[in-house]
Structure 1
Amino acid sequence: MNDHATTGNGSAPQPVEDRSNPYSGRRDMPADFSVSIGEKGGTDRQLLRPPTARTMSMRGFDDHYVDIVDYIVRITHRIWEEKQIGYIYDTYRHNSRVTDDYGLQYGRDKIVADTVHTINAFPDVRLYADEVVWAGDDVSGFHTSHRTVIVGTNTGYSKYGPPTGRRVVVWAIANCVALENEIFEEHVIYNNSSLIQQLGYDLRTKAREFGNQAADLNGLLDRRFGEAERVLGQGKPAHLPALPDDRFDVEAFIRRAYHYIWNWRNIGSVDQAYAAGLRYHGPTGREYYGRGEYKSFVLSLIAMFPDLALTVDDVYHMGNEADGFVTSVRWSAVGTHRGFGVYGRPTGRRVYLWGITQHRIRDGRIQEEWMQFNEFEVLQQIHRDDPFETA
């Protein structure tokens, strides 16, 4: 197939943008909040009085969904709260890839099994949608970042143990890619460390238990690892291009802020990227107010992992300069546990972190941040028994 087009004046052929590839990164970003949970007045209107008039093109999606936010909210409600678990067969592709704290879950049947397990453990579970950040369309695929608060009572067996009877409030962020009524890629991160504490378990004991179980399944354990490539040899981190003067480029702003704060260790750059009255919501019950507390949090992680190298894997957003923006950022990092901190004495172990962060940006500064990362998995990597040590 010819992938170039020739201009009418006979000039050199120009590449034709392929918008049918959901992995190309080329996505339309909504320029306002007309399709959002806030504009809908909350999810109860969608669930009790579902809208009927479509507000965007939804090629291949079931007729009763009017837009992508409506789709995400209502399929979540139907599967989890109405317990129509089999609806997963209609809304997830057979070879769906779901990445969570425990790694890659491949295939639709595994999603069904995991959903049954969780609802069995928390039969009265409720999922409250706080935000759905979205981008894309029904050609390249819809990308959604669904932040939700999960409430339920542990009256059934879970992977963590027998029923405790405790009521938990846990939040999560699920980033999905959907096309023609099916989700085929998902990155979901739960506040599992907070969940385990609310269930009454000792977090480090559970981390060691689960870490040892994971180690037992891996027959190729190897203590060797290379350097975290934040810098190359005796070099220094790369510089990024300056931000444009004529407009606010959300993606460039985010990538630059993350790079200079985390990889350059320029903690003072927080002052340029974040508002003085910042509100921060993080894993394991972290709630911070203001830039000073946020700087201390950044320092605490870098102190524990002195070679920490962070990469922004995906960014999309909605909004405009007048009304502000909301963003979804998926990121990953590697580092070696060589410093003291809340994770205990240094172990020298290489640790992999990944997370999803949503921001609310106004007047060129981040006003509020919701960060979720795989903290319980990090604790497993640190606190598991070392299979190479002998008694």
Structure 2
Amino acid sequence: ERWSTAVPPTGPLPAVAPSAAVAVAAASSADGGAFSNECLLQHGDALQPPTQGAPTTFLDECPAWVVRTTDAVWRPGLDAASVNASLEAYFYEGWRSVSSFGRRYEGMAALKDLVWGTKRAFPDLQIHISDVFCTGNDVDGYKTAMPDVLTGTNTGPSAFGPPTGRKVAYNGVALCYLQKVGGRWQYVSEVVVHDEAALMHQLGVTNLTAATHPDTVATPHDCRTNTPTWGWQ
């Protein structure tokens, strides 16, 4: 869970409850014959920025901003004061995240816990950005997509157990919403998905029943987009 723009969970976590996942799957399949996403198009939130003719002065700068703010947090060797200053400068104090296992996070304290938990588990972690693109405007905000490859060595405890000394390399993508807060652009929310199955395999986790996981499952919210979204203030 980004692990944030953040990464995956790294603190001790309870075992997953299979019954919760079964219940969600059963509920989803019960009306599967009538299922459609059409309501998102007809009655949902705007999928494109709604303010016509709004200025886009940040659009050209946006991809570089995403690259540089990611490096300002995740580049190996940064001191704690610099990382924390970057988090407070580039992330909204009420930041929200949805990540693997359907886990949700909110607030600066949760963000810092995620970042530092990940850095303790993988001190040499590198986020290799493979692309960035942005859409939006200066009024409604901007949405960004950043596919990446994460590499590192597990020399500290993680959510999946004690340090293994193993090297990992796995794919992911971060979808973020930016808005100007107090005169500067900040990450307000994100949906971050990384290949946790590849990570666990590379760490040597073979008993998935015994492995620790967040006790949550992803929950659909039909007819509504992720929030915050366009026009959030």
Q: Give me the TM-score of the superposition, normalised by structure 1.
A: 0.39
Other structure's SS at 1:156 match: coil
Aligned to 2:98: 99
Choose which of 83, 93, 107 in structure 2 pairs with 1:85.
Answer: 83
Aligned pairs (5 A) from 1:1-391:
24-27=46-49, 57-58=57-58, 67-82=61-76, 83=78, 84-86=82-84, 87-102=86-101, 103-180=103-180, 181-202=185-206, 204-206=208-210, 209-210=212-213, 214=215
Higher-strand-fraction structure: 1
> What is the distance in 2 between the residues matched to 1:122 and 1:94?
25
Other structure's SS at 2:57 match: coil
| Pairs aligned (count) | 164
Q: Which runs of 5+ in 1 are unaligned?
A: 1-22, 29-55, 60-65, 216-308, 316-391
Q: What's the CA shift string for 1:357-378, capped at 9, x where partnerless?
A: xxxxxxxxxxxxxxxxxxxxxx
Other structure's SS at 1:152 match: strand
> What is the distance in 1 between the residues matched to 2:166 and 2:93?
35
Q: What's the CA shift string for 1:214-263, capped at 9, x where partnerless?
A: 28xxxxxxxxxxxxxxxxxxxxxxxxxxxxxxxxxxxxxxxxxxxxxxxx
> What is the distance in 2 between the residues matched to 1:147 and 1:313?
24
Q: Which runs of 5+ in 2 are unaligned?
A: 1-44, 51-55, 227-233
Which aligned segments of 4 or more residues in structure 1 are displaced greater than 6 angstroms?
Answer: 309-313
Q: CA deviation at 1:85?
A: 2.1
Q: CA deviation at 1:187?
A: 0.7
Q: CA deviation at 1:130?
A: 1.1
CA RMSD of aligned residues (A): 2.7
Q: CA deviation at 1:88?
A: 0.8
Q: CA deviation at 1:190?
A: 1.2
Percent identical residues: 25
Aligned to 1:248: none
Structure number with larger C-alpha Rg: 1
Q: CA deviation at 1:109?
A: 1.5
> One-letter code of the match for 2:96?
R
Other structure's SS at 1:157 match: coil
Q: CA deviation at 1:104?
A: 1.3
> What is the distance in 1 between the residues matched to 2:62 and 2:223?
25
> Aligned in 2, Cα 1:124/1:88: closer, same or farther, shift over 3 Å?
same
